[in-house]
Structure 1
Amino acid sequence: MTQTAKITLTATAAALLAAGVTLTTTASGWTVPSLFKDKAPSTATADAGGGTAAPVAQAAQPAALAAPVVAMPAAQLPNYRAIVQTQGPAVVGITVAGLHKVGNADMDDDAPAARGREDDADPFFRFFRGIPGLRMPQQGPQPFRGQGSGFIISADGLVLTNAHVVRDAKQVTVKLSDRREYSAQVLGSDPATDIAVLKVDAKGLPTVQLGDPKQVQVGDYVLAIGAPYGFEQTATQGIVSAKGRSLPGDSVVPFIQTDAAVNPGNSGGPLFDAAGRVVGVNAQIYSQSGGFQGLAFSIPVDVALKVKDQIVAHGKVEHARLGVTLQDLSAPLAASFGLGAPDGALVSSVQPGSAAAKAGLKAGDVITGVDGEPVRVAGDVSSRVGLARPGDKLKLELWRDKNRVTETVSLGRAERDRQEASAAPEGGSLGLALRPLERQELRGSGLDHGLLIERVAGPAQLAGVQPGDVLLALNGKPVQDVEEVRAALKSSPKQVALLVSRDGQQIFVPVRLG
Structure 2
Amino acid sequence: MFSVLVWCLTLAGTVQAASLPDFTELVEDASPGVVNISASRSSASPAGYGGSPDLQQIPEFFRHFFGDQLPGPGGNAPMPRQMQSTGSGFIVSADGIVLTNNHVVEGADEIIVRLADRRELVAELVGTDPDTDLAVLKVKADDLPVLKLGKSSKLKVGEWVLAIGSPFGFDYTVTAGIVSALARSLPSENYVPFIQTDVAINPGNSGGPLFNLDGEVVGINSQIYTRSGGFMGVSFAIPIDVAMNVVEQIRETGQVRRGWLGVLIQEVNRDLAESFGLSKPHGALVAQVMPESPAAKAGLKPGDVILSFEDDEINLSSELPHRVGRVKPGTEAEMEIIRAGKRQTLDIIVGQVPGSDEVAAAPSAKPSADSNTLGMEVRDLTSQEKAQLQLSGGVVVTNVMTGPAAAAGIRAGDVISTLNNERVNSVSDLRAIASKLPSDKSIPVLIVRNGNPAFVVMRIED
Deviations 1:364-409 (A, max 9, x none): 1111111111111112111012222322222111011111111122
Kept after mapping to 2: 8 A contact 1:222/1:240? yes
Flag the 1:384–1:417 CA change in 2: closer, same or farther, 3 A. same
Aligned to 1:256: 195
Aligned to 2:65: 128
Of 13, 16, 28, the match for 1:85: 28
Deviations 1:105-154 (A, max 9, x none): xxx9979xxxxxxx966441011133465698955875421011000011
Aligned to 1:462: none
Kept after mapping to 2: 8 A contact 1:129/1:267? yes
Q: Shift of residue 353 of structure 1?
A: 2.2
> What is the rounded CA distance, in whole Å, between the counterparts of 1:334 and 1:284 in structure 2?
33
In structure 2, the gaps of 5 or more residues are 1-10, 364-410, 417-448, 452-462
Aligned to 1:309: 248
Aligned to 2:135: 196
Aligned to 2:284: 345
Kept after mapping to 2: 8 A contact 1:109/1:126? no
Q: Shift of residue 332 of structure 1?
A: 2.1
Aligned to 1:209: 148
Flag the 1:90–1:391 CA change in 2: closer, same or farther, 3 A. same
What amino acid is the match of 2:288?
Answer: S
What amino acid is the match of 2:237?
Answer: S
Q: Shift of residue 286 of structure 1?
A: 0.3
> What is the rounded CA distance, in whole Å, between the counterparts of 1:122 and 1:322 in structure 2?
35
Aligned to 2:393: none
Kept after mapping to 2: 8 A contact 1:224/1:260? yes
Number of residues of Structure 1 aligned to a counterpart in Structure 2:
355
Aligned to 1:359: 298
Kept after mapping to 1: 8 A contact 2:306/2:336? yes
Deviations 1:61-97 (A, max 9, x none): xxxxxxxxxxxxxxx4333111110001100010001
> What is the rounded CA distance, in whole Å, between the counterparts of 1:78 and 1:92 in structure 2?
24
> What is the rounded CA distance, in whole Å, between the counterparts of 2:122 and 2:341 in structure 1?
60
Aligned to 2:331: 392
> What is the rounded CA distance, in whole Å, between the counterparts of 1:364 and 1:419 in structure 2?
21
Aligned to 1:452: none
What amino acid is the match of 2:31?
Answer: G
What amino acid is the match of 1:408?
Answer: D
Aligned to 1:299: 238
Flag the 1:228–1:360 CA change in 2: closer, same or farther, 3 A. same
Within 5 Å, which residues of 2 pair with 1:114-125? 122-125=59-62
Flag the 1:25–1:289 CA change in 2: closer, same or farther, 3 A. farther
Kept after mapping to 1: 8 A contact 2:195/2:219? yes
> What is the rounded CA distance, in whole Å, between the counterparts of 2:67 and 2:355 in structure 1?
26
Aligned to 2:41: 98
Deviations 1:261-317 (A, max 9, x none): 011111100000111111000011001111110100000001100000011111121
- 2:98 matched to 1:159? yes
SS of the residue 1:155 aligns to: coil
Deviations 1:38-72 (A, max 9, x none): xxxxxxxxxx64xxxxxxxxxxxxxxxxxxxxxxx
Aligned to 1:458: none
Of 275, 281, 285, the match for 1:336: 275
> What is the rounded CA distance, in whole Å, between the counterparts of 2:201 and 2:60 in structure 1?
16
> What is the rounded CA distance, in whole Å, between the counterparts of 1:474 and 1:150 in structure 2?
51
In structure 1, the gaps of 5 or more residues are 1-23, 30-47, 50-75, 112-118, 426-472, 479-497, 501-514
> What is the rounded CA distance, in whole Å, between the counterparts of 2:101 and 2:314 in structure 1?
28
Kept after mapping to 1: 8 A contact 2:167/2:204? yes
SS of the residue 1:286 aligns to: strand
> What is the rounded CA distance, in whole Å, between the counterparts of 1:296 and 1:304 in structure 2?
17
Kept after mapping to 2: 8 A contact 1:130/1:266? no
TM-score of the aligned structures, taking structure 2 as reference length: 0.70
- 2:321 matched to 1:382? yes
Kept after mapping to 2: 8 A contact 1:130/1:267? no
Deviations 1:229-252 (A, max 9, x none): 111100000000000101111121
Flag the 1:267–1:402 CA change in 2: closer, same or farther, 3 A. same
Of 208, 211, 221, the match for 1:282: 221
Of 165, 172, 177, the match for 1:233: 172
Aligned to 1:321: 260
Of 171, 183, 186, the match for 2:122: 183
What is the CA RMSD across the aligned residues, in angstroms? 3.2
> What is the rounded CA distance, in whole Å, between the counterparts of 1:201 and 1:138 in structure 2?
41
Kept after mapping to 2: 8 A contact 1:270/1:280? yes
